[in-house]
């Protein structure tokens, strides 16, 4: 190859290499293919595309980029050390849980489920079965102790105030007449406004048809937490065990609750003391126009009808068609 031609090719490669380096610096964390980078660099000539390919191959060979099929990504070798030796092993948040205001009845995870800074709690429920009641009662019980932020996608000023005025066992305002908490309308990109040191209550995450996104959404929210926590409400199909997104919705949760008609199930309690609430089921009623829990008690599937509510083609007389019985009514069980 003539020396002049070689110099020209070398000069073209250096220019292409510099352009790729500058483009990559602005697009770290993204995935891309050859067409994407060439289009954004306004390169359409075959010879120049080939130079881009050579540069990308060099970066793959030297473990700067990873290539899977036709997709490239930066190899992120940065690490975040976890200083566990200096951590306080007894550190947890003294969270107060919703309870039966009128009869002082309580869910069985109250007082035994451990919630630590940075934790995520998930409540997955069928439509109009108590998720918002739980979220607002959770806010009411903790707004005097922790800074709280409630993000909602269905709250309006009038509806929220009407509900708040019915929750009159505690005042939602300070002495100066201002709210004790922050109320925000939010429909997506929740992680962008997570308050790192607050109790963040998200009621609710609408996934539309993109159920697979729930895991990454929860992970993004949790990544923003410091001393605070997040309580996240999601929808659940009545015939499914978990909320929309299936198992992906429960992997990062420290506590995962599901709500069906007049019952709540502890699907996962990652840390606990005194007694293990995992898989326990609680019956409850909601009163006072959807603002209060009442008559909370532990229940179990009816053994006579195996939880179907039917026996011999008729309503089961043991559980009265509900499929569940109170543990206190089970001889020898005694309840808790």
Show the CA angle centred on residue 167, arms to residues 160 and 207, nearest 5°.
Answer: 45
- 278, with CB counted inside 10 A (0-12, 13-18, 19+), is middle
What is residue 219's predicted lDDT score, i.e. its pLDDT?
A: 92
What is residue 331's predicted lDDT score, i.e. its pLDDT?
A: 67
What is residue 119's predicted lDDT score, i.e. its pLDDT?
A: 96
Residues in the chain: 336
Which has more confidence, 219 or 77? 219
* Tens-place pLDDT, residues 131-176: 999 999 999 999 999 999 999 888 889 999 999 999 999 999 998 9
What confidence tier does 54 reach under pLDDT thresholds 50, 70, 90? Answer: very high
What is residue 333's predicted lDDT score, i.e. its pLDDT?
A: 60
pLDDT at 4 over 70: no
Mean pLDDT confidence for 48-65: 92
What confidence tier does 90 reach under pLDDT thresholds 50, 70, 90? Answer: confident
Of 156-160, 245-249, 309-313, least confident by mean pLDDT is 245-249
pLDDT at 323 over 80: yes
Share of the chain above pLDDT 70, in %: 95
* Tens-place pLDDT, residues 9-37: 778 888 889 999 999 988 888 899 999 99
pLDDT at 296 over 80: yes
What confidence tier does 5 reach under pLDDT thresholds 50, 70, 90? Answer: low
* Tens-place pLDDT, residues 272-291: 988 899 999 999 999 999 99
pLDDT at 100 over 70: yes
Q: Which two tokens stand for residue 172?
A: 């939602």
Identify the structural domains of the chain with CATH numbers, from first to last: 3-74 (1.10.10.10), 120-298 (3.40.50.300), 302-336 (no CATH)
pLDDT at 95 over 50: yes
HEC string for the chain: CCHHHHHHHHHHHHHHHHHHHHHHHHCCCCEECHHHHHHHCCCCCHHHHHHHHHHHHHHHHCCCEEEECCEEEECCCCCCCCCCCCCCCCCCCCCCCCEECCCCCECCCCCCECCCCCCEEEEEECCCCCHHHHHHHHHHHHCCCCCEEEEECCCCHHHHHHHHHHCCCCCCECCCCCECCEEEECCCCHHHHCCCCCEEEEEEECCCCCHHHHHHHHHHHHHCCCCCEEEEEEECCCCCCCCCCHHHHCCCCCEEEEEECCEEEEEEECCECCCCCCCCEEEEEEECCCCEEEEEEEEEECCCCCCCCEECCEECCCCCCCCEEEHHHCCCCCCC
Mean pLDDT confidence for 192-196: 95
d(CA 36, CA 40): 6
What is residue 91's predicted lDDT score, i.e. its pLDDT?
A: 76
What is residue 336's predicted lDDT score, i.e. its pLDDT?
A: 47
What is residue 335's predicted lDDT score, i.e. its pLDDT?
A: 47
Share of the chain above pLDDT 90, in %: 60
pLDDT at 250 over 90: no
What confidence tier does 334 reach under pLDDT thresholds 50, 70, 90? Answer: low
Return mean pLDDT, the chain: 89
pLDDT at 82 over 80: no
Of 95-99, 149-153, 293-297, least confident by mean pLDDT is 149-153
């Amino acid at each position: 190859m003539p020396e002049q031609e070689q110099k020209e090719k070398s000069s073209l490669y250096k220019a292409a290499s510099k352009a790729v380096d500058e483009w990559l610096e602005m697009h770290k964390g993204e995935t891309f293919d050859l067409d994407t980078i060439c289009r954004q660099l306004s390169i359409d000539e075959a010879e120049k595309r080939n130079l881009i390919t050579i540069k990308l191959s060099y970066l793959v060979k030297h473990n700067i980029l990873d290539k899977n099929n036709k997709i490239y990504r930066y190899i992120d070798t940065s690490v975040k050390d976890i200083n566990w030796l200096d951590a306080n092993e007894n550190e947890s948040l003294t969270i107060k849980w919703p309870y039966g205001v009128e009869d002082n009845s309580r869910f069985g995870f109250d007082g035994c489920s451990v919630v630590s800074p940075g934790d995520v709690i998930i409540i997955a429920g069928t439509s109009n079965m108590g998720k918002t009641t739980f979220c607002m009662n959770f806010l009411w019980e903790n707004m005097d102790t922790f800074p709280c932020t409630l993000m909602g996608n269905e709250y309006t000023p009038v509806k929220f105030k009407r509900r708040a005025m019915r929750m009159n066992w505690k005042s939602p305002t300070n002495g100066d007449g201002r709210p004790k908490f922050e109320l925000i309308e939010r429909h997506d990109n929740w992680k962008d406004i997570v308050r790192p040191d607050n109790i963040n209550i998200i009621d609710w995450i609408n996934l539309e048809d993109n159920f697979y996104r729930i895991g990454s959404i929860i992970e993004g929210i949790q990544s923003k937490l410091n001393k605070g926590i997040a309580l996240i409400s999601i929808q659940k199909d009545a015939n499914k065990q978990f909320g929309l997104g299936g198992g992906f919705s429960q992997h990062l949760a420290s506590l995962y609750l599901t709500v069906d008609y007049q019952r709540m199930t502890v699907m996962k309690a990652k840390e606990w003391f005194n007694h293990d609430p995992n898989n326990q089921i609680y019956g409850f009623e909601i009163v006072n126009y959807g603002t209060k829990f009442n008559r909370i008690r532990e229940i179990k599937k009816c053994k006579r009808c195996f939880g179907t509510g039917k026996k011999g083609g008729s309503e089961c007389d043991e559980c009265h068609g509900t499929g569940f019985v109170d543990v206190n009514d089970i001889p020898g069980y005694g309840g808790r």
